[in-house]
Amino acid sequence: MNKMIDILELTWKEIESLPKDKTILFLTFAPIEEHSHHMPLGVDIFLGETWRNKALEMISEKNPDYHLLTMPPIPFAQGSIKGFPGCLHVSQRTIYQVAYEILDKIANWGIKNIVIIASHGEPKHLIAIEEACDKINKKHGLCAISPMGAFFSYDELGIDLDFPEQIKEQLKKYPNDFHAGWIETSAMLDIDENLVKKDFINLPDTDVKEKEMIFPDKVNKKIAGLGHIGFPRLATKELGQLLNINSAEFISKATLAFATRQDYKKYQHHSLYKIPFLRTNFVRNVLRVTGLIIGLIIIYLWVRYK
C-alpha cells in the first residue's frame, strides 16, 4: 500500500490492517471565506492543504515507515468577519461539536495520531478544536492534536519558528497583517499566481492594531468594502515560498513530536486558551452559575419568610 494516501481511496479492510502506532491521519479544518478583492474564497483551505502536503514529504523523508493519511477538508469555521458574501462561518459551539464527533469516530477506527490543520487564525475557532482534542484524548487516550493555535500564537508562547531573516524583517516593518495581507497573498502567489488578481499592488493598506482585533465591529468597520486586514501590496512570491516552507516545517516538527510523544505539549494550545470568555462553554457556564445563584436566593427567601 502507498504510504501517503487519501483515505477516500482505501477499503475498510485496509484501514483495519494499518499499523496503528505508525499511522498519522491529517485533517484540514478551515473555512470558505472572503479574502478581499484579489484572492478567492479558498485561501485558508489552499494554505492548509499546501502546508500539509509539504509536511508530508518532510515527514516521509525522515521517517519512511510512517503511513501518512489525508482526507477531504472540512470547509467551514468560526469567524467574525461580516458584511461580505462568500463566508461560511458557523458558531464556535458547532465547530467544537463537529470536531468532537469526527475525532470520536476516527479514534474508534483505532487511529492513534490525528493531526488537525486548522489553517484559520481566529482564536475561537482554534480553541474550540483544541477543546475537542482535549476531550477526545481524555476519552480514548492521547490520539489527537491541533497544533495551529500554537503556530499562530508562537510569539506569546515563546516558540521559535526559526523565520528566515527576510521574513523577520518584514514582520517587524509590517506587523498586524492579519487577513489577506502580505502574508497570505505572498503564500498564495507561491501556490498559484493565477489565483491572485494582478492589481493587488494597488489595494490600500488597512490599519488594525492587534488590540483592536478582539472587537469585531471595529474591525468590520475598518475593512468595509475591502476585506483585508494588512498590506496586500507588499506581497511577493519569494516571501510566499519562505512562508510556506516555514509553516510546513512547523507542522512536520509538531506532528513528529506528537507521534513520538516527545515534547509535544507546547503545540497543544493557543496562548489564549486560558481566557474564559474565549472558550466554547463560557456563556453557558455563566448562565448556569447565575441560574444557580438566583435559585439559591429564592430558596433562602422562601425558607426565611414563609
Q: Compare residues 136 and 227 and give the one whose CB is closer to Zn ion.
A: 227
Q: Which three cell numbers stand for residue 265?
A: 505539549
Cβ 179 to Zn ion shortest distance, Å: 6
In whole angstroms, give the CA distance from residue 25 to residue 12.
15
Catalogue the E-assigned strands of the chain: 4-6, 23-28, 67-70, 114-117, 144-145
Cβ nearer to Zn ion, comparing 143 with 239 = 239
* Listed ranges 39-47, 61-69, 224-232, 296-304: which one lies at the site for Zn ion (CB under 5 A): 39-47
Instruction: Specify the pairing of strand 23-28 against strand 67-70.
Output: parallel
**Considering only 35-43, 215-223, 224-232, 255-263, which stretch makes contact with Zn ion by CB under 5 A?**
35-43
Nearer to Zn ion, 24 or 239 (CB): 239
The residue number whose beta carbon is nearest to Zn ion equals 44
> Least distance to Zn ion from the beta carbon of 30, Å?
8
Output the smallest distance, CB 59 to Zn ion, in A.
24
The count of chain residues that interact with Zn ion, using the rule CB under 5 A, is 2
Residue nearer to Zn ion on the CB measure, 77 or 106: 77
Q: Which range in 4-12, 44-52, 234-242, 292-300 contacts Zn ion by CB under 5 A?
A: 44-52
Q: Does 44 bind Zn ion (CB under 5 A)?
A: yes
177 binds Zn ion (CB under 5 A): no
Task: Find the DSSP H helices in 193-236.
Answer: 216-223
By C-beta, is 38 or 140 nearer to Zn ion?
38
The answer for residues whose C-beta is within 8 angstroms of residue 248's C-beta and 6 or more apart is 50, 51, 52, 53, 54, 55, 58
- Taking the C-alpha atoms of residue 296 and residue 170, their distance in angstroms, rounded to an integer, is 57
> Taking CB under 5 A as the rule, which mask of x and - marks residues 151-170 in contact with Zn ion?
--------------------
- Least distance in angstroms from the C-beta of 6 to Zn ion: 24
Cα 94 to Cα 23, 129, 281, distances in angstroms: 28, 10, 11
Nearest approach in angstroms of CB 56 to Zn ion is 21
For residue 77, the 8-state DSSP code is B
- Beta carbon of residue 206, minimum distance to Zn ion (angstroms, whole number): 14
Backbone dihedral angles phi then psi of residue 124, each to the nearest 5 degrees: -65, -30
Please check whether residue 24 is in contact with residue 182, taking contact to mean a CB–CB distance below 8 angstroms: no
Q: CB of 13: closest distance to Zn ion in angstroms? A: 38
For residue 103, CA distances in Å to 45, 116, 231 come to 19, 10, 37
The cell numbers describing 116, all together, are: 488537525
What are the DSSP E strand ranges found in 62-154?
67-70, 114-117, 144-145
Site residues (CB under 5 A) for Zn ion? 43-44
